[in-house]
Amino acid sequence: MRTVRPVDAELALKMGLDVLPGRAAQFHLQLGRHYHDGGRPGPAREHLREAARLDPRTEPEVGKVLRQINTATPGCFSWQ
């Protein structure tokens, strides 16, 4: 099994935003998860919020990841 580098995953997800605009909410959700997993809470929050804005059905998963960021991120994002 081939291991995908984080930069490859990021590029593929960003390409998905361009190629499949009708699925943008899912790509934003995945980018949010990706950035959160990579220790980048700022961009994660931006993409997660965009996912929820584009498709309210993503809200349960968006909320879950945002709660993780708000409670477990050294950057203290809980005030935002």
Tens of pLDDT along 3-23?
Answer: 568 788 999 999 999 999 999
Q: What is the dihedral of CA 9, 13, 16, 17, to 10 degrees?
A: -160
Q: What is the pTM of this model?
A: 0.84
Tokens coding 29: 């959700």
**Quick one: pLDDT at residue 3?**
55
- 33-45: average pLDDT: 94
Question: Binning pLDDT at 50, 70 and 90, where does residue 80 land?
Answer: very low
